[in-house]
Structure 1
């Protein structure tokens, strides 16, 4: 069963895509739920809207259809905080995407190319979380996974790699190679290998991604 919210978002994305590709003028409203500060309302291109879960989710789906910018939107930069109302998350099963085909063989990764784009562009702002460099980027596990926790077998002959968005961080390829050697495959924890400022920055980005999970 598809969640009503997912149907609404799919319809919104379909309409925006059609108007964009046919040069029809349109302006779209983004997330306003639980927002109360009118000074935080802005109008701008969807590619520049920030701190808005609906914008993120809409951008992610539009990007999958080949639309990265060119749609004006109304959005709020107001952040949730203590004492403010919050939207209740839907059940976890509503967010499970895709099915494993009965004839699939080999190893499948649980993330799509659009998930990768979302992580790099939205969560890590298109740069390495370690150095701020914007080129030669890669995603790598932040922590060493527990033994036996990375592979599951759903269908005979089909192995599925278990990796979640919240497991990954963005670094340059060179930094990722060092991190993988010392942390993912080595015997160090991030706290032992990096200074406190870097660890807190990464953890804050992972918490941020987690807070937006219910909107994807």
Structure 2
């Protein structure tokens, strides 16, 4: 009896395997499409699509998701940022997408690529993405262009078929500027990713106009070059306001032996592309890509969205008045505080992380002069609560007590650490 059951089980398994193999051969593309030819979407019952997108329908509504499903998006750059953006867009309902990238999947890119696996190493990034897209959403029309974007092919890549949205995920500054200026000059809707390399703080990722970016050297360089070309339009970008600091990642130099060999430029993937290595924490490009996709989806669906740009949420006026009042009580007749408003925000939120170094409290904050023997400056102003400011003024600034007798060593060390950080940052200001 048991042998009959075993035989039946084996036959059943073989039949299932045969049926699955027949299904894949019948429905999968057996020959790859020619270069740059969009893969025709498989016929797919709309009720199944709606079920797969049911949570998005619940969130964005029938009209909102209807707009998304009818949107044609072009994404240029399919690395860590671009791949995560692309996969999020097609998972969320985008049904027509054109992806552009000249590069191949490398072993080192597996730490940040959205879908690439070991078996994809050495294959074009666009083909890798298409393969995975059609496994997730087989109804999507996918156009792949395994070529380098430049100003000479911008017209067909960005305008053929009248795309609704252009997404810039390029990491080469010259090519990025070419794409953005091309879009702005022709009123094409575009959103851009700035630099995710050397960044690690997820709380500093922002979405805003390129003119409002902070601590992003790529954004600053792009902005300047666009202005030189006369491009003054607003461009929404994703950027990180995280500052460089001692111990954090930075641009890696090439080994001396490579320079000694000569022809260093041959080490880059293409002429004029970067040779030195930008360290990347794999999670950051993914978050940049997800931020891009979320912004695009909400914009297309007309979903209410009011991005808070940068760290300008501190109530500056009250803090300035409090510091000015302290200086007046100390006998300083100068009415104006020699610290710009932007630097007040910088002191509170960047240097002292929005907390008092004395109590670690983050409410009822103000500023106080720290050492009475030194002039008021960015390296002699400390964030405190209002109560701490009053006590500090009584005991240290007016009473003449030494800082070491008023505060424990750990507070003194933390304040000195913050001042040392500001001194380091000042070289970039």
TM-score, scaled relative to structure 2: 0.28
In the TM superposition, residue 54 of structure 1 has moved relative to its aligned partner by 2.9
Select the residue among 55, 68, 73 that pairs with 2:239.
Answer: 73
Q: How does 1:114-129 map to 2 (within 5 A)?
A: 114-129=342-357
Q: Which residue of 2 aligns with 1:5?
A: none
28 and 108 in structure 1: CA distance in 2 versus 1, 3 angstrom threshold? same
29 and 134 in structure 1: CA distance in 2 versus 1, 3 angstrom threshold? same
SS at match of 2:344: helix
Q: Which residue of 2 aligns with 1:97?
A: none
Post-superposition Cα deviations, 1:145-182, rounded to whole Å, max 9, x if no partner, equal 35xxx5xxxxxxxxxxxx21111000100001101111
Q: How does 1:52-131 map to 2 (within 5 A)?
A: 54-55=215-216, 71-73=237-239, 79-81=245-247, 107-131=335-359
Answer whether contact 2:244 2:425 (CA < 8 A) is retained: no
SS at match of 2:192: coil
Q: Which residue of 2 aligns with 1:195?
A: 408
SS at match of 1:131: coil
SS at match of 2:416: helix
CA distance in 1, matches of 2:399, 2:416: 20
CA distance in 2, matches of 1:192, 1:74: 40
Post-superposition Cα deviations, 1:111-160, rounded to whole Å, max 9, x if no partner, equal 112111000000111111111111110110111135xxx5xxxxxxxxxx
SS at match of 1:29: coil
Q: How does 1:136-215 map to 2 (within 5 A)?
A: 136-145=364-373, 163-215=376-428
107 and 76 in structure 1: CA distance in 2 versus 1, 3 angstrom threshold? closer
Q: Please list every run of 5 or more consecutive structure 1 residues that lacks an aligned counterpart in the other structure.
A: 1-11, 33-39, 60-69, 86-105, 151-162
Answer whether contact 1:41 1:77 (CA < 8 A) is retained: no
CA distance in 2, matches of 1:193, 1:74: 38
Answer whether contact 2:368 2:382 (CA < 8 A) is retained: yes
CA distance in 1, matches of 2:393, 2:202: 42
Answer whether contact 1:119 1:165 (CA < 8 A) is retained: yes
Number of residue pairs matched by the alignment: 139
47 and 209 in structure 1: CA distance in 2 versus 1, 3 angstrom threshold? farther
Q: Which residue of 2 aligns with 1:134?
A: 362
Answer whether contact 2:206 2:239 (CA < 8 A) is retained: no
Higher strand fraction (1 or 2): 1
In the TM superposition, residue 45 of structure 1 has moved relative to its aligned partner by 5.1
CA distance in 1, matches of 2:355, 2:202: 25
SS at match of 2:411: helix
24 and 145 in structure 1: CA distance in 2 versus 1, 3 angstrom threshold? farther
Q: Which residue of 2 aligns with 1:25?
A: 191
Q: Please list every run of 5 or more consecutive structure 2 residues that lacks an aligned counterpart in the other structure.
A: 1-176, 208-213, 221-235, 252-333
Q: What root-mean-square deviation, in Å, do the aligned CA atoms of Structure 1 and Structure 2 show?
A: 4.0
42 and 172 in structure 1: CA distance in 2 versus 1, 3 angstrom threshold? closer
CA distance in 2, matches of 1:42, 1:116: 22
CA distance in 1, matches of 2:343, 2:237: 21
Question: Which is higher, the Rg of structure 1 or of structure 2?
Answer: 2
CA distance in 2, matches of 1:131, 1:137: 11
Post-superposition Cα deviations, 1:71-128, rounded to whole Å, max 9, x if no partner, equal 52368887535xx99xxxxxxxxxxxxxxxxxxxx63321112111000000111111
Structure 1 segments of 4 or more deviating over 4 A? 40-45, 74-79
Answer whether contact 1:30 1:54 (CA < 8 A) is retained: no
The answer to which structure, 1 or 2, has the higher relative contact order (CA under 8 A, 6+ apart) is: 1
CA distance in 1, matches of 2:381, 2:344: 10
